C-alpha cells in the first residue's frame, strides 16, 4: 500500500522543525569541529588525544558509565523479579516509588546526593569528587529503567517453563542461568544500554558531584564552550560523544529488535503469586527494604537539609528565595526563576504535544519503511545529549536569523527533548487502537469520522495527556540545553539552583529550590502514574 498524500503533508511540520532545530545545529557542530577555519583540521582532535586531562575525561566517561550500568542491573534484577512474580501488600505503591528517581531532574538528583554524601553529610562522610558519589547517584536515577524494562518481560515469561526445567532436574540457580536469564536477555540488554547511555551523557549529576578529574565528555563540552570559549574543542568533543552515543543506540536497537522473540506470553495476573515460604518473604522484604532505602534516603535528607538552620528546623532558606540577601542585579531572583520555568513550560508542552502528535499520526499511518525511518529520526533527540542540543543552538542559530537572543529558544529546546516522549506515549496507543476496534465501530454504524471521535480520540487523548505531562516535567527540569541558552533574565529553576550552589553561603537555598523543583516534577509524575494506572488494559 502507498502512503497517503495527507500523511506526507502532515509530516512536513515535524520534519522542518527537526531539520532546523536539530539536524542543522548538529551539522554545524560537526562543521565547527572538523572544519574550524574553512579547512579540514584535526588539531582539536589531536588535542583531545594528546592532552592527558582530555584523555582521562574520555576514559572516565566510559568507565563510570560501565560501572554504573553493572551496579544498576545488579540491583535492578532482584527488584524486577519481586515485582514480576510476587503479589504482596503495597506492591503498586512500591512500584510507583521506584519510578520517582527517574522523573527527578538530574540536577535535583545531584543536589540530593550532595546533601547525603557531600559536605555536612548526616552520615559524616564527604564523597564529593569521588566516583562513588557519582555511581550511587547514577544507580538511584536509573534503577527504574531496569526494574520496568526487565520486569515487563519477566511478567510475561510463563513460570511453567521454569517448572519444566526444574522437573527435568535443574536446580534453582541452573534454571535461572540457563532458562530465565537467556529469556530475559533482550530486556536486560536494552535496559542496560539505556542506563549506559544516560550515564555516558550524564551532566547534572557530574556537575554537582564530580570534579575536574571526575568529569564526563558532556560536562567537558559545556566547560570548554562556556568557560573557555573553545568552540572548536567543544565541537570536537561533541563529535566524539555523538560517535559513542551512536554505537550505544545501535546496540540498543539490536537488543530491542530481538525483543519480539517467540517467548510464550502470559498475562501478568496469572504469574504473580503470594510468597509461600519464609525464604521468599525474607527475600521480598530485603529487596523492598533496599529499594525503599535507596529511593527515600536522598529525598528525605534533601528535604531535611533544606529545612535545617543553625537554630533548628525552619523555613528560612525558602523565605530567602523570595528575598535573597545577596541578590544579584543582573540575575533574576529565585522566585522569578520559578515563574520563568512555569512560563516556558506552557509553550514547551504545546510545541512538543502538537509536533509529537503530528509525528505520531505520520508514524502510525505511513506504511512500511518510510514510517520506520521517520520514527527512528524523531527518536534521535532522545539519544543526543541535552548539552549537545544547547551547544548546537549556540553555534548554529545565528543564521539566517539570529535567534540566540530569543526567549522562544528555551521552550523549543525543551520541546525537542520532550517530543520523543510524546511520540513514545502516543504511538503504542494509536497502534493498539487496532484496526479491529475501528472496524467494530464501523460495523456498528459509525462513519469514519464518528469512529475517530468515539474510539481513537478518547483512547489517544489520554496518552497525549501523559505525553504532555512528560513534556512539562522535562521542561521545568531541563538543565543541559538551558544552561547554554538561558540569559540572566530568563533563568529557570535548574539554572538558578546551579547558581545558588556555586555561590558561597546559599547551599540551603539551593536545596530549598531543589525541593521545590522536586515537588513540581513529582506532581507531574503522579499525574502520569494515575493516568496510566486507570487505563483498563488487556481487552
Partner 1 sequence: MLQVSQLTIRFDGTAALDGANLTVEDRSIHVLMGPSGSGKSTMLRAVAGLEDPDAGEIAWNGRSVLGVPVHKRGFGLMFQDYALFPHRSVAGNVAFGLKMQRLEPSAIPNRVDEILELVGLPGYGDRSVGTLSGGERQRVALARTLAPDPRLVLLDEPLGALDRSLREHLLIEMRSIFNQVDATVLYVTHDREEAFTIANRVAIISDGRIVADDTPEGLWRRPPDGWTARFIGLENLCSASKLVELGVPHPGGTTNTGVVPPEAINLSPTGPHAATVTGSHFRGGAYRIELDLGEGSNLVTWSPVGFEPGAIARFEIDASRITWFED
Least CB distance from residue 429 to partner 1, whole Å?
10
Burial of 250 (0-12, 13-18, 19+ CB in 10 A): exposed
Q: With respect to partner 1, which residue has the nearer C-beta, 30 or 531?
A: 531
Distance between CA atoms of 58 and 343, rounded to whole angstroms?
37
CB of 443 to partner 1, least distance (A): 4
Looking at the Cβ atoms of 131 and 446, the one nearer to partner 1 is 446
Residue closer to partner 1, measured from CB, 260 or 536 = 536
Please, what is the minimum distance in Å from the beta carbon of residue 449 to partner 1?
10
Tell the smallest beta-carbon distance from residue 536 to partner 1 (Å). 3
Query: CB of residue 152 vs partner 1: minimum separation in angstroms?
Result: 18
Contacts with 78 (C-beta within 8 Å, 6 or more apart), sequence order: 283, 287
Contact 115, 302 (CB under 8 A): yes
In whole angstroms, the minimum distance from the beta carbon of 357 to partner 1 comes to 18
Q: In terms of CB distance, is 279 or 537 closer to partner 1?
A: 537
Contact 474, 351 (CB under 8 A): no
The one-character DSSP state at 3 is P
CA distance 319 to 359: 44
Quick one: 213 or 432, whose CB is closer to partner 1? 432
Name 423's Cβ contacts closer than 8 Å, sequence gap at least 6. 356, 359, 360, 363, 375, 378, 379, 467
Report how far residue 528's alpha carbon sits from residue 463's, in angstroms, rounded to the nearest whole number.
9
User: What 3-state class would DSSP assign to 22?
Assistant: helix
- All cell numbers assigned to 130: 569521588
Question: Interface with partner 1 by CB under 8 A: which residues?
Answer: 434, 436-437, 439-448, 450-451, 454-455, 458-459, 462, 535-539
Sequence-distant (6+) residues with CB within 8 A of 15 are none
Residue position matching grid coordinates 510524546: 422
> What DSSP state is assigned to residue 329?
S
User: Looking at beta carbons only, is 39 or 449 nearer to partner 1?
Assistant: 449
Other C-beta atoms lying within 10 Å of the C-beta of residue 337: 26
Nearer to partner 1, 67 or 459 (CB): 459
Alpha-helix residue ranges (DSSP H) falling in 86-180: 91-103, 106-117, 131-156, 159-167, 172-175
Which one, 43 or 450, has the nearer CB to partner 1?
A: 450
Using an 8 Å Cβ cutoff, are 505 and 518 in contact?
A: no
Grid cell of 446 as nine digits = 459509525
Instruction: For residue 264, report the phi and psi dihedrals to the nearest 5 degrees.
Output: -60, 120
Shortest distance, CB of residue 269 to partner 1, whole angstroms? 11
Minimal distance, residue 10 CB to partner 1, in Å: 24
Q: Which is nearer to partner 1, 43 or 447 (CB)?
A: 447
268 or 316: CB nearest partner 1: 268
Nearer to partner 1, 152 or 251 (CB): 152
**Cα–Cα separations (whole angstroms), residue 103 to 117, 119, 143, 254, 475:** 21, 26, 12, 26, 12
CB of 432 to partner 1, least distance (A): 9
To partner 1, the closest distance from the beta carbon of 539 in angstroms equals 4
Instruction: Tell which residue, 304, 136, 283, has the closest CA to residue 209.
Output: 136
Peptide bond into 264 cis (omega under 30): no
Of 132, 112, 85, 126, nearest to 272 by C-alpha is 85
Nearest distance in Å: CB 154, partner 1: 22
Amino acid at each position: 500500500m502507498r502512503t497517503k498524500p495527507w500523511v506526507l503533508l502532515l509530516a512536513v511540520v515535524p520534519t522542518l522543525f527537526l531539520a532546523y532545530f536539530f539536524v542543522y545545529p548538529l551539522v554545524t557542530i560537526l562543521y565547527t569541529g572538523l572544519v574550524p577555519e574553512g579547512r579540514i583540521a584535526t588539531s582539536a582532535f589531536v588535542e583531545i588525544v594528546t592532552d592527558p586531562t582530555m584523555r582521562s575525561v574520555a576514559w572516565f566517561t566510559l568507565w563510570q558509565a560501565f560501572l554504573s550500568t553493572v551496579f544498576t542491573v545488579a540491583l535492578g534484577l532482584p527488584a524486577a523479579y519481586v515485582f514480576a512474580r510476587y503479589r504482596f501488600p503495597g506492591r503498586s505503591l512500591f512500584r510507583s516509588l521506584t519510578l520517582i528517581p527517574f522523573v527527578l531532574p538530574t540536577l535535583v538528583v545531584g543536589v540530593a546526593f550532595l546533601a547525603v554524601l557531600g559536605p555536612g553529610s548526616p552520615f559524616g562522610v564527604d564523597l564529593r569528587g569521588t566516583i562513588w558519589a557519582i555511581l550511587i547517584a547514577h544507580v538511584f536515577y536509573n534503577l527504574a529503567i531496569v526494574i520496568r524494562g526487565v520486569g515487563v518481560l519477566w511478567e510475561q515469561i510463563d513460570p511453567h517453563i521454569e517448572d519444566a526445567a526444574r522437573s527435568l532436574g535443574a536446580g534453582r540457580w541452573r534454571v535461572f542461568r540457563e532458562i530465565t536469564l537467556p529469556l530475559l536477555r533482550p530486556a536486560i540488554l536494552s535496559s542496560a544500554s539505556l542506563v549506559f547511555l544516560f550515564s555516558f551523557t550524564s551532566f547534572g549529576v557530574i556537575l554537582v558531584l564530580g570534579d575536574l578529574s571526575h568529569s564526563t565528555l558532556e560536562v567537558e563540552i559545556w566547560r570548554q564552550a562556556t568557560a573557555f570559549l573553545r568552540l572548536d574543542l567543544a565541537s570536537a568533543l561533541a563529535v566524539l560523544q555523538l560517535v559513542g552515543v551512536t554505537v550505544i543506540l545501535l546496540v540498543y536497537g539490536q537488543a530491542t529488535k530481538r525483543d519480539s522473540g517467540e517467548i510464550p506470553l502470559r498475562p501478568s495476573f496469572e504469574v504473580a503469586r503470594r510468597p509461600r515460604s519464609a525464604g521468599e518473604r525474607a527475600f521480598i522484604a530485603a529487596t523492598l527494604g533496599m529499594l525503599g532505602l535507596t529511593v527515600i534516603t536522598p529525598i528525605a535528607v534533601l528535604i531535611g537539609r533544606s529545612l535545617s538552620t543553625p537554630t533548628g528546623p525552619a523555613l528560612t532558606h525558602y523565605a530567602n528565595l523570595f528575598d535573597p540577601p545577596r541578590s544579584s542585579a543582573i540575575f533574576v531572583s529565585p522566585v522569578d526563576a520559578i515563574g520563568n520555568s512555569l512560563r516556558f513550560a506552557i509553550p514547551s508542552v504545546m510545541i512538543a504535544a502538537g509536533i509529537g502528535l503530528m509525528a505520531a499520526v505520520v508514524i502510525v499511518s505511513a506504511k512500511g519503511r518510510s514510517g520506520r525511518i521517520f520514527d527512528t529520526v524523531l527518536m534521535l533527540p532522545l539519544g543526543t545529549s541535552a548539552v549537545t542540543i544547547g551547544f548546537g543552538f549556540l553555534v548554529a542559530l545565528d543564521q539566517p536569523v539570529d535567534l540566540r537572543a530569543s526567549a522562544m529558544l528555551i521552550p523549543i529546546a525543551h520541546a525537542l527533548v520532550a517530543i520523543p516522549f510524546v511520540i513514545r506515549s502516543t504511538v503504542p496507543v494509536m497502534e493498539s487502537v487496532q484496526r479491529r476496534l475501528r472496524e467494530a465501530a464501523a460495523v456498528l454504524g459509525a462513519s469514519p469520522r464518528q469512529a475517530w471521535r468515539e474510539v481513537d480520540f478518547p483512547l489517544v487523548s489520554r496518552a497525549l495527556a501523559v505525553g504532555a505531562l512528560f513534556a512539562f516535567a522535562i521542561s521545568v527540569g531541563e538543565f543541559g540545553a538551558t544552561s547554554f541558552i538561558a540569559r540572566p533574565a530568563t533563568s529557570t529553576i535548574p539554572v538558578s539552583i546551579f547558581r545558588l550552589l556555586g555561590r558561597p553561603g546559599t547551599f540551603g537555598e539551593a536545596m530549598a529550590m531543589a525541593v521545590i523543583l522536586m515537588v513540581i516534577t513529582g506532581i507531574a509524575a503522579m499525574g502520569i502514574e494515575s493516568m496510566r494506572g486507570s487505563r483498563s488494559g488487556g481487552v
